[in-house]
Every structure is written in structure tokens, then in C-alpha cells.
Amino acid sequence: MSALAKNATPRALTHAVTCPSGCYYIACIALVTSGASANGCSQAQHALLSHTATPCSSQRSREDLETMPRPAAHARRVVALLSLAAAFLAPQTRTRHHRLHAKKPPPKKRDGRRLKIATNRKARFTYEIIKTMEAGIALQGTEVKSCRDGNANIADGFARIENGECMLINVDIAKHKTTGDYFQHDARRPRRLLLHKSEIRKLAGDMVDPGFTLIPLSLYFNDKNLLKVDLALCRGKSQRDKRKDIKEREDKRMLARASKGVY
């Protein structure tokens, strides 16, 4: 069998085991070395096989195989191994079982780019950003599907420390449209943020001072296709600070227009 596999080509193997005219004959092994046409065996070859070869169909039971003559049983095993080799060598002959159990390709990376799902635009106007950090989020399957569809709103969301865990509160992730009610999720349920214990303890120490809060700035998929939250430690602005920011923004717009010659 080693000499047979060494001299045979993948195309000849494929035609030998998937011959449309002759169905798994022991004498088909001889066609592997001699070669077979693209349309299978010729009429003369098929007539010769029908009279001289012993049928070796895959429908034979184990008892029939044991009662077969020893050379015929050995040839049956050879044909089975050839059919398995042809299935892996030729992609067009792979069975549905092989396709289902094949390894899935790794997800494509976005080269550092983010796929933003939701953004809290008012956060930078309402709050003074002290520092930011990236946090994971524990979600159900329907919540991830809704986020991929862009059905999420974090404008009213905030985070707080509860029992040593950082919880995201009041973030609205809409129910998935094509999922039944039994598997649906609560749109505004508290969701656990995935942070290290040291990070949670540090945030808890920073929030001891009055006026500090945790606000989600954005919800996005990172380059590894994982859903993340851009969490910020903020402090509320006074009306005077807000008016100052508005004036600075208007001054920047005027300078940009003047540089372009547009008044």
C-alpha cells in the first residue's frame, strides 16, 4: 500500500474512489496507478471490473467483512483508506461532516481600529474628565447581537462599586428583533464590568471624594472583536465652567473660519 500511495496522484485517487460508473470495486485500486479519466471508468474497464472484481460497497456490515476472504477484506480496507485520503486531498469531495468539524478561521483583526456602537456626547460637556480606562462587560448572547446591530444607548448610563464589583447601571441595550421572548434580556438590567481587583479598589478610593462619578464615554468592539466600554472618572462642571467651554469652542470656530477666509 505504501508503494501505491507513493505513486498515486490526488486526482487519480479522487477519480478512483468517486467513479460515477463503478462503485467501490476492489479492482479500482489498479486504476490509481494507471490513471482514470475525468468522466470515470471507460465502458471496457467497467465491464472488466464487473466480471473480475469483488464488490466492496460501504454498506457491508462488519460480519460480512469478517467472512470475506482475507485478500478481499484487506483490499476493502485499502479502498476505505483511499477514499478517506481523497476526501482530504480534494476539497470538492469533502463530506458535510468534515465541513462542520473543520476548524473555524480566526476572526479578522481591525488593525487597531474601533467599531463604535454608542457614544455619550454630552459627557465631556457636562463633566470634567479626570482619567479614562478600558473595561470589558459581561453580556448575554442577545445583548451582543443587539450591540452588533447598533441598538445601544449609554447617554443615561453610569457605574458604581457594589460588593467589590463595578456595575454598569441604566445603559439601554434594546431587545434583539429576531429572538423569542423566552431568550430575551432585560434592556436596562445592571451589567458587570470586567476589571481587575486592583483597578476596582483604586476607583473606589478615588470616588470617596464628593463630586466624583464613573461615566461610560463609548461602547465599541476592539481590534480583537471584543466588546469594550471606555469608562471615565469624572467630576461635574459648574455653570460657569460650561459657559467658559462654550466660549472657547466658539473662539476656535471663529479662528478656523478666519484661517480659511470664510466669515
Q: Are residues 177 and 237 in the same domain?
A: yes
Q: Are residues 235 and 146 in the same domain?
A: yes
User: Does 262 map to a domain?
Assistant: no
User: Does 92 map to a domain?
Assistant: yes
Q: Are residues 21 and 126 in the same domain?
A: no
Rounded CA gap, 28 and 37, in Å? 13
125 has pLDDT over 90: no
Q: Mean per-residue pLDDT for 234-250?
A: 81
Q: Are residues 96 and 119 in the same domain?
A: no
Q: Are residues 251 and 143 in the same domain?
A: yes
Rounded CA gap, 16 and 28, in Å? 6
Q: Is the pTM of this model over 0.85?
A: no
Range of the domain at 92: 2-100
User: Does 175 map to a domain?
Assistant: yes
Q: Are residues 127 and 87 in the same domain?
A: no
- Residue that is written with C-alpha cell 461615566 in the block: 215
Q: Are residues 19 and 95 in the same domain?
A: yes
- 33-37, 104-108, 217-221 — which is least confidently predicted? 33-37
Query: Which grid cell is 128?
Result: 470634567
What's the whole-number average pLDDT of the chain?
71
Q: Are residues 171 and 75 in the same domain?
A: no
List pLDDT tens digits, range 135-182. 999 998 889 888 888 889 998 899 999 888 999 999 999 888 888 777
Q: Which of 55, 74, 100 is the last residue of a domain?
A: 100
List pLDDT tens digits, range 212-232. 899 999 999 988 888 999 999
- Tally of domains in the chain: 2
Q: Mean per-residue pLDDT for 59-83?
A: 63
117 has pLDDT over 50: yes
User: Does 17 map to a domain?
Assistant: yes
User: Which of residues 259 and 33 earns the better pLDDT score?
Assistant: 259
Q: Are residues 129 and 211 in the same domain?
A: yes
Question: How confident is residue 207, by pLDDT bands cut at 50, 70 and 90?
Answer: confident
Residue 30: per-residue pLDDT: 40
Q: Which of 76, 100, 124 is the last residue of a domain?
A: 100
Q: Are residues 38 and 96 in the same domain?
A: yes
User: Does 105 map to a domain?
Assistant: no
Rounded CA gap, 12 and 33, in Å? 8
16 has pLDDT over 50: no
Contacts of 76 (CB under 8 A, 6+ apart): 26, 56, 60, 65, 68
Q: Which of 100, 125, 157 is the last residue of a domain?
A: 100
Q: Are residues 79 and 39 in the same domain?
A: yes
Question: How confident is residue 19, by pLDDT bands cut at 50, 70 and 90?
Answer: very low
CATH assignment at residue 157: 2.40.280.10
